[in-house]
Amino acid sequence: MKINQAWLAVTALACDLRAWLQLLALDGEMAKATPKTLRYRFLHVPAVIVRGQRKRRLKIPRTWPWADEITAAFHLLMALPHLT
């Protein structure tokens, strides 16, 4: 596979993942947001992964303006039935 083909495949996958995220886990303003807006709100979160009690947790600061939307989307995704 050539580098350009690999880049195209990764880009297409990223577009698909964003579209499915908006379809399955987001509502309201976030469901209609542009890719640029979603990148800023989701990928620039100052979050930390914390380990303890045999679990991993993602700690998002309460001061982050879209913390509630991110946690709601995460809970909706986790509530989806698993494919077997």
pTM over cut 0.85: no
pLDDT digits (tens, 9 = 90+) for 15-24: 999 999 999 9
What number is the average pLDDT over the span 38-55? Answer: 90
pLDDT of 1 over the 70 cut:
no
What number is the average pLDDT over the span 38-48? Answer: 91
Token pair recorded at residue 31: 């469901």
8 A C-beta contact, residue 30 and residue 41? yes
Q: Is 38 exposed, middle or buried (0-12, 13-18, 19+ CB in 10 A)?
A: middle
Of the chain, the percentage scoring pLDDT greater than 70 comes to 99
pLDDT of 52 over the 70 cut:
yes
pLDDT digits (tens, 9 = 90+) for 22-35: 999 999 899 999 99
- Element (H or E) spanning 52, and its range? strand 48-52
Token pair recorded at residue 51: 């380990």
